[in-house]
Chain A
Amino acid sequence: MKRFYLYLVLTVAGITFIYPFLWMIAASLKPEIEIGSLGLWSKNFSLESYRLVVQKIPIWRALFNSLFVSSCVTVSVIFFGSIVGYALSRLNFWGRNLILGIILFTMVIPFQITLIPMYILMVKFGWVDTYLSLIVPGMITAFSILLFRQFFLDIPQDLIDAARIDGCNDLTILFRIIWPISKPVIITVGIITFMTSWNDVLWPLIVIRNEKLMTMPQLVTIFAVGGQAEAQLGAMLAAATLLAIPIILVYAFFQRYFIESMATSGLKG
């Protein structure tokens, strides 16, 4: 009997998490007048709302922009994060602890303080309305360096010494010897970075005004807020669904990695 209640509570909770998503997808396929109903099925399903979205905003271009920006940022964060993480864990040089201290310090600075000056910097560089403003400031993150450093600290010195005797320099050691055994941390950093970059809206809203360069969440936000949707609920929900689908698809296949990555970054951050 106790088991029964346990499953009952979990199922009810589960439905409150899944049902809204299903409702959103169903509503995006229904004609406008049927959206205000609880049911998930309609005889009049059509792609009309999606046609409207594609017609009004460059959503495919935005999908490309988001994929491009997030991929560049992720590759760069893994590349530079592991290089700096390696230097801070496996090399001895004067000032190393100072750099580590700086990194820890930057992690406690609330972003609210640097937001406006960062925007002005982008204006002065002439990077407003270019991909550069979306990519370059995110190319190295303190958190990725710390995660890589933590992981590299546990790698046995023998492995590195052996490679050095074989004539490897530090970069070859990092990319040939250490990278292949660091998949867990690379996946963690990759997922967190990609997701953060993909879901960020505030920064793109600030530095991108040209519709052709907008990221997908930004374009959908402006579509919903800026009146282009003309109070058409179906179109707004269709745009939201298009924005949700890529990440849900990836999540469906790699959910374990997503959850574990977010848990570790939460615990270490």
Chain B
Amino acid sequence: MLAYVKQKIKKSDKIGYLMSLPYLVSFALFVAFPLGFSFILIFHKWNVITPMRWVGLKNFYRLFHDVEFFRAIYNTVVFLIIHIPLQIVFALVIAVLLNQKIKLRGFFRAVFFMPVIVSGVVITILWQQLYAYETGVLNLILTQLGLPKIPWINDPSWAMPSIAIMATWKNVGLYIVLFLVGLQNIPKYLYESAELDGATAWQKFWYITVPSLNSTMVLVVILSTIGGFSLFIEPFVMTGGGPMNSTLSAMLYIYNQAFYFGHMGYAATLGFFFAFIIFIVVLIQKRVVERK
């Protein structure tokens, strides 16, 4: 075996090893080591300053009894349940409209894409003002239309949906562009033969466009799920997790445990468990959406 490997290496372009070396070093330091170290951390109690203390499975015991953490996961799920359908519907509608023969398509596309490139911090500070109860632009518009004000970020049952709406506004541009690429890859003859059979515009949309966009759909769902699970800066800036923990996201909770309370071992356990959930959810989504 060893001789075989030696033989293989002898025949190789040896400079290949040298050129791959930067990646291998970075992998060892910033992926392999942290991964390995997280396995050690989850069995310890540690605040970085004093020595580590072995606690066995206590971190996991604590996790499964941690009401706040499960609240945070629940909040993150609420975010996803509102965010993903909203994102898909708006992105798809606008992409279909932009896919017609229209003037200024590039301009519109650039406008919808703008929030994607701007920092989430800017978007959050801006929307915090738009959502303000007394003086916010949204409530001013509602009042002028003769409608009652909405307590966007002041009411526990409104706060997370409000953040989900803002996140949709920020990200939808990217998904419009992805759907546009998908739409342009649908062969024209499908629509032409459907027209010959007398299909209505709605039938063409439902039986040709939607099924043809399946792979884009998978991508959109998975990308926004991963994005949603990483939700951090929006609640951090806008609400600090409140009111009454209603916008406490899992990432915000992990951050607080590690850097506010100094519970490194426990935070690592939360991160480990949470990453595991993300992995499973994305895997299931892939299976389910691809089968449809």
Given A21-B114, A87-B19, also A6-B97 (CB < 8 A): yes
| B81: Cβ under 8 A from any A Cβ | no
Select which of A38, A121, A123, A263 is within 8 A of B137 by beta carbon: A38
- Whether the Cβ atoms of A93 and B17 lie closer than 8 Å is yes
Asked if A248 meets B114 with Cβ closer than 8 Å, knowing A93-B17, A116-B271, A199-B119, the reply is yes
CA distance A93 to B8 in the complex (A): 8
Check if B13 sits within 8 Å of A112, measured CB to CB.
Answer: no
Interface assignment of B193: CB less than 8 Å from any CB of chain A = no
Interface residues of A in 1-55 (CB under 8 A from B): 6-7, 9-10, 13-14, 16-18, 20-21, 23-24, 27, 35-38
| Selected interface stretch from B61-69, B148-156, B205-213, B272-280 | B272-280
Within B127-144, the residues touching A (CB, 8 Å) are 127, 129-130, 132, 134-137, 140-141
Selected from B19, B31, B102, B233, the residue in CB contact (under 8 A) with A7 is: B102
- Tell me whether B114 and A201 are in contact (CB under 8 A): no
Which residues of B in the span 249-283 have a Cβ within 8 Å of any Cβ on A? 251, 254-255, 258-259, 264, 267-268, 271-272, 274-275, 278-279
A117 touches B38 (CB 8 A): yes
**A106: interface (CB < 8 Å):** yes
Q: Pick the contact of B120 from A137, A201, A256 — CB < 8 Å?
A: A201
* A267-B119 contact, Cβ under 8 Å, with A94-B12, A236-B125: no
**B:80-127 near A, CB below 8 Å:** 94, 97-98, 100, 102, 106, 108-122, 125-127
Annotate B218-249 by CB proximity to A: 1 below 8 A, 0 otherwise: 01000100100110110011001000000000
Q: Which of B15, B27, B122 has the most CB of A within 10 A?
A: B122
A145 within 8 A of B: yes
Task: Tell me whether chain B's interface is mostly helix, strand or loop, or mixed.
Answer: helix
Give Cα A243–Cα B237 distance, bound, in whole angstroms.
15
Complexed CA–CA distance, A86 and B114 (Å): 34
* Residue of A92, A117, A263 most packed against chain B (CB within 10 A): A117
Can you name the residue of chain B whose Cβ is closest to the Cβ of A80?
Answer: B22
- Please give me the residue from chain B that is nearest to A82 by CB atom: B19
CB of B20 within 8 A of CB of A87, answer yes
CA distance A38 to B33 in the complex (A): 53
The reply to whether A109 and B275 form a contact with Cβ atoms under 8 Å apart is: yes
The B183-222 residues at the A interface (CB cut-off 8 A) are 219
**Chain A 234-269 residues near chain B, CB threshold 8 A:** 236-237, 239-241, 243-244, 247-248, 251, 255-256, 258-259, 262-263, 266-267, 269
Interface pair A91/B240, CB less than 8 Å apart: no
The CA-CA distance from A241 to B118 in the complex, in Å, is 10
Interface flags, A97-139, vs B, CB<8A=1, else 0: 0010011001011111111111111010000000000000101
B14-26 interface bits toward A, Cβ cutoff 8 Å, 1 = contact, 0 = none: 1111011011101
A-B contact pairs, 26 of them (CB 8 A): A6-B102, A14-B108, A36-B132, A84-B23, A91-B13, A91-B16, A106-B27, A109-B275, A110-B229, A113-B34, A113-B275, A114-B35, A117-B34, A120-B37, A199-B120, A202-B233, A205-B255, A206-B259, A217-B119, A220-B122, A233-B129, A240-B121, A240-B126, A247-B117, A255-B110, A259-B113
Query: Can you add 14 more A-B contacts, CB < 8 Å, to A114-B38, A258-B113?
Result: A7-B102, A18-B111, A36-B132, A80-B23, A87-B15, A106-B27, A106-B31, A116-B268, A117-B268, A121-B30, A220-B121, A240-B121, A262-B116, A269-B223
Residues of B within 8 A of A (CB): 5, 8-9, 11-17, 19-20, 22-24, 26-27, 29-31, 33-35, 37-38, 41, 48, 94, 97-98, 100, 102, 106, 108-122, 125-127, 129-130, 132, 134-137, 140-141, 169, 173-174, 177-178, 181, 219, 223, 226, 229-230, 232-233, 236-237, 240, 251, 254-255, 258-259, 264, 267-268, 271-272, 274-275, 278-279
